[in-house]
């Protein structure tokens, strides 16, 4: 790439000609203040906080959106630039609610941090403030337009990464607001509940719907037997909420913290993941043998399933009918566990701790309720919400001893742990399907060709003389690429794994907000979280779902054969065509 020579703050520098001033400055260790900028999204240049002086002109330019050129002379700081940035920030602040102490983003708000670093200590521009009601129709995502600073990060992530295009700026001038088309409630829009808008929002204009109060009430109710399950991704990310580096395995301390919060039993969503593998592999083998309804599309990601229902309803017959691991385990807690414990299902309160805001929506889907009309999952907490609860109890999770899951629904294979990383569901399914197809023990368990997927990947995998064409996609913009090939019959796959969130569940919309200058969607953060799950898998003696002895016992004593009538009734579901009908 062509190089150009520039000067930044009196320091000569040679940089790529396609670089921005902001990126060039970072090569010198200069971090220019910014607000609307996000490294994984397109350039917006809306906030102007990152302005710099170029060639002595006082017509300041946004460094995030200005490309370098030969001979450019840049000043990133001066008394005048500092004052201009403060003025811009003060204008934003004076149209922002004054409730930092009670805001969920207090101490972890980019606007608040910027005000601190730029020395803004008072509001100078009093005037009429925008006023909007909080929009809380969604099961997952709360929209608070009064806190919106119009950076459009949410609009960009929804369009560019998730390809949903649910959000846009409506109206003009002082009345500008970010909302779904025609100002529709989120529940009536094509929102898939993934929560990536929450992750990239620098303030608290988008938040998950808070379920902590419902859980506190259940824990305080002596009539309720309150049980909790934690998803695989939680153990690899929760430590970040307590200032640990990404990728710390916090399985044991998290279990202990949950017991100290008062949960009666602590189970592992991984058990549900093992069960999903057995059912899904059975389904895959049947389809391979019949040649019918291929490819099999995985169904673990609830955000992805809603995306399918909205935009690709013609492909719904290809989706596995398996419930997600959370819903499978919750169903068993209200049936199998209820029976063996002698506790009426209506007295069991099931809490799922998930990396995903879409799981809140999944818990409310009527087709996932029990036959008695009870929700299988009574409440879903995000990783962030569990962090808040642990802190509220003054629990020092970092120094807690390791606890162990309760049995029988807390034991899992290594295959279940990798569900949290993109490609993990497909790899876990292949470990079981390969043995079902060949009738022989699988010696090499690591299908590395479907790991570390950045966006999407296609692969050919040899099993017992048969070549399986597989694909993995994370982030729904990438999923569209695969699904369009399936729809047009450009490519014939046998098995396709799709995860709604970038990186898979480890990058879910309910994971801890990054610290230390990192951004959500940071590929290195997701890599470290995934690596923790693969280490857990490698350390386990049992690494195939169908070899989990408690899964075998469950089928022998309760479900019968995989795919049999009771198993299908309890562990499988159906999908619903929604608007819009295709694209």
Query: Is 436 designated active site?
Result: no
Query: Is 300 designated active site?
Result: yes
Query: Catalytic residue among 233, 301, 320, 330, which?
Result: 320
Please, are residues 183 and 175 in contact by the beta-carbon 8 Å criterion? no
Query: Catalytic residue among 104, 110, 309, 362, which?
Result: 362
Query: Is 367 designated active site?
Result: yes
Query: Is 540 designated active site?
Result: no
Query: Catalytic residue among 135, 279, 283, 385, which?
Result: 283
Q: CA–CA separation, 582 vs 314, rounded Å?
A: 8
Largest CA distance in the chain: 80
Query: Is 362 designated active site?
Result: yes
Query: Catalytic residue among 359, 360, 436, 544, which?
Result: 359
3-state secondary structure of 492: coil
| CA 574 from centroid of its chain's CA atoms | 23
Peptide bond into 302 cis (omega under 30): no
Q: CA–CA separation, 366 vs 384, rounded Å?
A: 26
Token pair recorded at residue 82: 């500092």
Helices (H) and strands (E) in the chain, counts: 20, 17
Q: CA–CA separation, 11 vs 258, rounded Å?
A: 53
Query: Catalytic residue among 280, 309, 427, 435, which?
Result: 280
Q: CA–CA separation, 114 vs 100, rounded Å?
A: 13
Query: Catalytic residue among 36, 47, 148, 505, which?
Result: 505
Query: Catalytic residue among 300, 322, 356, 501, which?
Result: 300
Terminal C-alpha separation, the chain: 38
Please, are residues 144 and 189 in contact by the beta-carbon 8 Å criterion? no
Using DSSP bridges, classify how beta strands 466-474 and 265-268 pair: parallel, antiparallel or unpaired.
unpaired
Name 113's Cβ contacts closer than 8 Å, sequence gap at least 6. Answer: none
Query: Is 505 designated active site?
Result: yes
Please, are residues 495 and 426 in contact by the beta-carbon 8 Å criterion? yes
Beta strands in 177-253 (DSSP E): 177-179, 206-208, 225-230
Query: Is 283 designated active site?
Result: yes
Please, are residues 137 and 185 in contact by the beta-carbon 8 Å criterion? yes
Q: CA–CA separation, 356 vs 140, rounded Å?
A: 9
- CA dist 496 to 178, 324, 533, Å? 34, 16, 21
Return the CA Rg of the chain.
25
Query: Is 320 designated active site?
Result: yes
Token pair recorded at residue 158: 């929804």
Three-state SS string over 62-80 comes to ECCCCECCCCCEEECCCHH
Q: Which residues are catalytic?
A: 280, 283, 300, 320, 359, 362, 367, 505
């Amino acid at each position: 790439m062509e190089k150009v020579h520039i000067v930044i703050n009196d320091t000569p520098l040679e940089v790529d000609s396609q670089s921005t001033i902001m990126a060039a400055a970072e090569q010198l260790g200069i971090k220019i203040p910014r607000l609307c900028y996000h490294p994984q999204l397109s350039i917006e240049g809306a906030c102007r906080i990152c302005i710099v002086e170029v060639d002595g002109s006082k017509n300041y330019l946004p460094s995030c959106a200005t490309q370098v050129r030969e001979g450019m002379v840049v000043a990133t700081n001066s008394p005048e630039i500092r004052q201009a940035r403060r003025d811009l920030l003060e204008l934003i602040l004076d149209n922002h609610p004054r409730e930092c102490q009670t805001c969920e983003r207090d101490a972890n708000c980019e606007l608040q941090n910027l005000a601190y670093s730029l020395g803004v200590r008072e509001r100078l521009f009093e005037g009429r403030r925008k006023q909007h009601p909080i929009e809380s129709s969604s099961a997952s995502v709360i929209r608070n337009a009064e806190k919106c600073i119009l950076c459009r990060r949410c609009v960009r992530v929804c369009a560019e990464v998730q390809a949903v295009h649910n959000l846009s700026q409506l109206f003009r001038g002082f009345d500008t607001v970010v909302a779904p088309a025609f100002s529709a409630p989120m529940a009536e829009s094509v929102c898939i509940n993934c929560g990536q808008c929450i992750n990239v929002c620098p303030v608290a204009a988008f938040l998950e719907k808070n379920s902590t109060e419902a859980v506190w009430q259940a824990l305080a109710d002596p009539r309720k037997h309150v049980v909790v399950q934690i998803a695989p991704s939680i153990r690899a990310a929760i430590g970040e909420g307590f200032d640990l580096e990404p990728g710390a395995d916090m399985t044991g301390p998290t279990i202990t913290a949950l017991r100290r919060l008062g949960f009666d039993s602590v189970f592992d969503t991984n058990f549900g993941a093992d069960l999903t593998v057995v059912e899904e592999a059975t389904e895959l083998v049947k389809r391979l043998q019949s040649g019918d309804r291929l490819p099999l599309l995985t169904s673990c990601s609830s955000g992805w399933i809603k995306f399918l229902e909205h935009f690709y309803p013609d492909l719904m017959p290809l989706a596995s009918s398996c419930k997600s691991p959370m819903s499978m385990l919750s169903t068993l807690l209200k049936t199998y566990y209820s029976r063996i414990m002698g506790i009426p299902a209506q007295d069991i309160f099931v809490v799922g701790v998930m990396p995903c805001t879409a799981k809140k929506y999944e818990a409310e889907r009527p087709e996932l309720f029990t036959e008695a009309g009870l929700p299988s999952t009574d409440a879903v907490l995000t990783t962030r919400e569990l962090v808040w609860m642990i802190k509220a109890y003054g629990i020092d999770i970092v120094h807690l001893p390791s606890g162990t899951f309760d049995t029988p629904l807390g034991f899992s294979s290594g295959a279940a742990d990798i569900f949290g990383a993109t490609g993990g569901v497909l790899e876990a399914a292949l470990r079981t399907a390969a043995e079902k197809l060949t009738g022989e023990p699988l010696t090499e368990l690591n299908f590395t060709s479907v790991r570390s997927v950045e966006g999407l990947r296609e692969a050919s995998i040899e099993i017992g003389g048969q070549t399986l064409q597989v694909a993995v996609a994370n982030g729904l913009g990438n999923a569209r690429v695969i699904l369009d090939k399936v729809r047009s019959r450009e490519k014939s796959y046998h098995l396709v794994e799709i995860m709604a969130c970038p990186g898979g569940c480890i990058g879910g919309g309910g994971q801890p907000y990054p610290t230390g200058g990192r951004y959500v969607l940071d590929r290195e953060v997701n890599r470290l979280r995934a690596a923790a799950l693969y280490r857990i898998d490698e350390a386990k003696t049992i690494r195939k779902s169908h070899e989990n002895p408690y899964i075998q016992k469950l089928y022998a004593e309760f479900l019968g054969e995989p795919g049999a009538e009771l198993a299908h009734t309890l562990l499988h579901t159906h999908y619903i065509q929604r608007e819009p009908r295709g694209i």
